[in-house]
Structure 1
Amino acid sequence: MSSCLLDCFEFSDRHTSEELLRVAKEWHVDGKVVCCVTDNAANITKAVKILKWTHHPCLAHTINLIVRDALKVMKPTVDKVKAAVEYFHMSTVGAEKLKSTQRQMGLPELRPKQDCPTRWNSTFYMLKRFLESKDAIISTHAIVSAPVDPLTQEEWEVVEEVCRVLEPFEQVTVEISGESYVTASKMILLCKGLQRITANRQREANVTTGQVIELMDTLCSSMDRKFHKMEYNHVLSETAALDPRFKKLAFSDARAIDEALQRITSAAGRDSPSSQTPGQQEAEGAEGAEAPAVVPQTSAVWMLFDEKATGNAARRNPSADAIMEVRSYLEEPLLQRSADPLSWWKNKASIYPRLTKVMTGRLCIVATSVPSERVFSKTGQIITERRNRISPSKVRQLAFLNANLS
């Protein structure tokens, strides 16, 4: 697995689809796009639709929208935390007093984290850091006359319970944001896991505050709406089925897995793996096998058999071969969840040549658009207060080199 930045440039036009196609053609990949993963912005979604590329929304962005929508029910508490964090960032006296108090209490000197709408999980990180410094913040508020309202005991309880509820969402976001391992095949299972753990916590008696109960209700209803019939999504269902760690276990709906396997079988029947027959590939790929006896290439004795064998190979049914490969693949034991599915497919390529070719166009799909978001973060480090007059073309070159050479 690897990520590459194809282009990063100043863009003020409205014709997003034309620019996407231009970049793809420039790199000769316009006919190789298997899926386009973007955030949920209307302009980029429409651009991909115009190009008729397979589109999938970024799961990290979707989860971020779900969480931010749910956090509206406790906006007054979150706003008070934001105000306190901003005070400690803006006030030198407040920041130094907080550090001094943390040292006196034997606590780590943790600076409060600020919330940023464009940084996913940032609200959770802000609340968690604020909670970790609870005693020091309360003591500092009592000593320093800060122009912000301190949290009440009930609001501290709300923050503590919210952090417990949101922690699984943060864990999922981090797991699906990687670039060096397969991510899209996990999406169905991870989304189900989020729904299950949130529903279980709804029934737990240790959630006491009304705001957090309302927040969990909102989370559950939003996930029911966003993740509805996820198993029938072509991208997600096929990637999950082709991951040897999950296969059928990723599904709870029998019809969904049947439809996914039918599409995979159909694609495998259409694709020709190579000019070699599977038997030839398997023979060449077998390790430790005894070398076959050398037979003269042109032997009149074998002429009749060779003619029959050639005719038999020509009459092979690709659809039947694909069905047999899928059936045999499903009978293989599940791979350990911590193992690399791509290594497994590499070792099995000679056994499942058709399925391997289909797999390469599925497991390469990423679950999020985080790789492109990281480019924006790096660009923000290039354009600084001291380098605010750098030309767009120079930024383009620096961003390209930084992303592809680092």
Structure 2
Amino acid sequence: MNTRSFLGVTAHFTYNGQLTSAMLGAYEFSTSHTAEHLKDKLKDVCEEWGIALSKITAIVTDNGPNIVKAVDLFLGKIFHLACCAHTLNLIAERSIKSVEGIVELLQNVRTIVTWFPTRWNSTFYMIERFILLRGDVNEIVNNYVSAPAMITSKEIEELRSIAEILRPLEAATAELCGEKYVTASTVIPLINGIQHECSKLSPTHDSAFKLRQAVLSEIEYRFGQVESVHFFAIACLLDPRFKKLHFKNPLACSRAITQIKENMRMIAHKKTENLPEESGANGESKNSVTAEEKPGFSVWNVHHGLVKKVQSQKNDSFLDSDSVTEELNMFLKSPITPFKSDPIRT
């Protein structure tokens, strides 16, 4: 079977105060996917669309070593960001594969699902829908000799526990896939939320318990240093809904504040250039600022709890007034804004 390879490039930017995305192209690759060739294609795309390299804040890709190296060759390692939604998917996949018995159980479910003229491309949604429709599925498969064997009641309960462990990953992935609201500032709070929601679960099935431990270990391995990623740290600090709330590492927080101060000084020095800044229309945004929350569950529970906690404290204890410039200090000491507010317009 002959296959064709493509590199898709999408640009994300603000226009008239609105977050906007544009598909720049899907470019077929006839050469090998080496880092050098990928770097050349990225350069060609920028030249084709007249994108100045100074306007590029970051390049987000999957974790493939060739594309990661390509970004390094093109702009430098500091400009690369791994797609967090892709990383969460890897966490789910590798956690599931690490626990004996879960792969086999899910394969049995998938065999039943694919026997019907439909399929779900997400393990979590497959489990969730299968549990919901198990009565109808059971009645149908029992009436056909050619149908695969139905899942037992014990296995259904095990599936419930597995779904509860995967639910925070699914919720965070949905949040991070939004295009009409900011997502970089939500990474640190979301990782905090996933860890909080998974840690409080007490699965009774041995496989589900091992899955929970595997998920937490994978999160620590892949996101343990997320507060040290300056893009995410600065974005979180400057989001009036989060600021310092979700930082567990004081040193990482301090470094991010120092970087913000340096950026502020650099902007101040460029004031003489009198460059116009984009500003949106007044009033509240009609766009959603987060993904829609499902009733009965929210990966943002830990955030809401932290807001209540900090609101009960004095602002003076929230930040040392000598640690940052006066303007930044005033911002960080000001009250946390409502969770549903638009951080771009606040």
User: Does the pair score TM above 0.5?
Assistant: yes
Q: Contact 1:113 / 1:129 at 8 angstroms: preserved in 2? A: no
Cα distance, 1:172 vs. partner?
1.0
Q: Contact 1:63 / 1:169 at 8 angstroms: preserved in 2? A: yes
**TM-score normalized by the length of structure 2:** 0.74
| Corresponding residue SS for 1:4 | strand
Cα distance, 1:59 vs. partner?
0.7
**1:149-177 residue CA offsets vs partner (Å, 9 max, x unmatched):** 32122211111111122112111111111
Instruction: Tell me the distance in 2 between the aligned counterparts of 1:55 and 1:147.
Output: 48
Q: Report what 2:62 is aligned to.
A: 39
Aligned residue among 54, 70, 91 for 1:66: 91
Instruction: Tell me the distance in 1 between the aligned counterparts of 2:142 and 2:26.
Output: 49
Cα distance, 1:265 vs. partner?
0.3
Cα distance, 1:276 vs. partner?
9.1
CA shift in 2, pair 1:276/1:37, >3 Å: closer
Cα distance, 1:232 vs. partner?
1.2
| Corresponding residue SS for 1:56 | strand
Q: With a CA cutoff of 8 Å and minimum separation of 6, indicate the structure with the bigger relative contact order.
A: 1
Q: Contact 1:161 / 1:212 at 8 angstroms: preserved in 2? A: yes
Q: Contact 2:185 / 2:236 at 8 angstroms: preserved in 1? A: yes
Stretches of structure 1 that go unaligned for 5 or more consecutive residues are 90-111, 116-121, 282-319, 345-406
Percent of aligned positions that are identical? 30
Confirm whether residue 113 of structure 1 aligns to residue 141 of structure 2. Answer: no
| Corresponding residue SS for 1:241 | helix
Q: Contact 1:17 / 1:51 at 8 angstroms: preserved in 2? A: yes
Confirm whether residue 4 of structure 1 aligns to residue 10 of structure 2. Answer: no
**1:168-200 residue CA offsets vs partner (Å, 9 max, x unmatched):** 211111111100111110100110110111111
Instruction: Tell me the distance in 1 between the aligned counterparts of 2:134 and 2:329.
Output: 57
Q: Report what 1:264 is aligned to.
A: 260
Pairwise CA RMSD of aligned residues?
Answer: 2.0
Instruction: Tell me the distance in 1 between the aligned counterparts of 2:140 and 2:129.
Output: 16
Instruction: Tell me the distance in 2 between the aligned counterparts of 1:254 and 1:82.
Output: 45
Instruction: Tell me the distance in 2 between the aligned counterparts of 1:61 and 1:158.
Output: 26
Q: Report what 2:339 is aligned to.
A: 337
Higher strand share: 2
Q: Contact 2:168 / 2:194 at 8 angstroms: preserved in 1? A: yes
Confirm whether residue 238 of structure 1 aligns to residue 234 of structure 2. Answer: yes
Cα distance, 1:28 vs. partner?
2.5
Higher helix share: 1
Equivalent runs, 1:48-87 vs 2, <5 Å: 48-53=71-76, 54-72=79-97, 73=99, 74-87=102-115
Q: Contact 1:113 / 1:125 at 8 angstroms: preserved in 2? A: no
Cα distance, 1:61 vs. partner?
0.5
Cα distance, 1:147 vs. partner?
4.3
